[in-house]
A = this chain, B = another copy of it.
């Protein structure tokens, strides 16, 4: 490699595989400068009120919507995800930022708690959550906007009071250049301190970011290999920092005999739709379908898959290569080919594939319970509840699991719903795993190896909790206390006082 190619990142068109542009890698001195700017901004970002930080996030959301056309064009050229999907992703990304703005202002995440002295010998304690400091965000290839450099991780980190330095994704570097311009202009206009948000490009830049002494936490969305590597890297620091890696997962979907009998075609079509959405490039893609034998579901799913005939490109050359290797592992390992749709021509096209496996294959060969990113799934027939349990016991943790059962007279539905809660961070009943709503009750996370931190969520109101740590003040005078734990509660956040939660907005009453 010559110096020039080492210092640039190639932007590719997935439809042709051809290079469509270049973006400069960030020199290591500039990564250091960006990290120091974030560290310098950290106190101002932390001390801004949540309402102020909310206004910054809303400014970015507005700017994304204002630039929708341009964003979709640049993103589609680099991802081949299509204009309609990308238009809705711009809208989703703006809505997410507004959600984190709402959550920040509501203030429950601050955990404001006051224990008044219960006697002469006991102190007064006041506890609140404070931002941890600069957060390194490494987004995903498959949601270039919603899980990208201004996606869920960045929105929730800034909402919680942390500056963000994001590493641009090599699958869409030109989009990330545009997003950086839009976000920084909006933050500047909105009055956010310089250093609230920065972006670096390049693999080495990402490593340096994770190792930088001023980085306090890492948020990652991507492959299991990438997440594990980041965990190991962070564990080699002098001061170990948490890595919140949300990785792909198997996401099993189980069908009870009653549901299989009652809704064969409907479940087959729904599964195929969920599996093939975005060419199977969802971290919530159902990668394993467990169906009772003898109900014709395997045939129905195969027909639905062939009828859907999904066609398209994968996001990157490494994803296309891994996909082909993964399908090969399933077939060489004894999986039975149910259907393979011919790949379209050119670029990083892939052949969507459906493979059948036996319960024994899943239990004894790890190849059949791994995630393969892209439009492939394993279908397995179970002969009895006992055999189903043997398969479930062999499965790794997932972000989401789904069960289809009949609401009346289906004893397996309740049992399986509870059983799947041990395997996943979200359990869907009579639905499909793709589609992650952003709200107060969302949980997008799950047991290892779906994430490196099963107590965390990367989507929804709970996402802020990743970027704070509690501090208790003991016998501190009122004028020294941070606003959320003062008696006059100027930010009007929920406070727990002597063990009882007070509603928001008690300021007027407590000031009387």
Contact = CB atoms under 8 A, between A and B. Distances in A.
Contacts of A480: 413-414, 417-418, 429
A476 B440 contact: no
A439 interface: yes
A126 interface: yes
Interface in A171-228: none
Given A472-B425, A480-B414, A449 B239 contact: yes
B474 A440 contact: no
A316 interface: no
Given A115-B441, A448-B239, A476 B429 contact: yes
A427 B479 CA distance: 15
Interface string A391-424: 0000001000000000100000110011001001
A202 B12 CA distance: 58
Given A122-B437, A240-B231, A429-B477, A471 B453 contact: no
Contacts of A256: none
Interface string A78-102: 0000000000000000000000001
B474 A427 contact: yes
A475 interface: yes
A267 interface: no
Interface string A136-159: 000000000000000000000000
A503 B506 CA distance: 14
A503 B500 CA distance: 9
A440 B113 contact: yes
A77 to B, nearest CB: 29
A473 B417 contact: yes
16 contacts: A115-B442, A125-B441, A127-B440, A239-B448, A241-B448, A418-B480, A427-B476, A429-B476, A430-B475, A445-B469, A445-B470, A455-B470, A462-B470, A494-B501, A501-B503, A503-B503
Q: Identify the 5 closest CB pairs spanning chains A and B, nearest first.
A: A443-B472, A125-B441, A115-B441, A127-B441, A113-B441
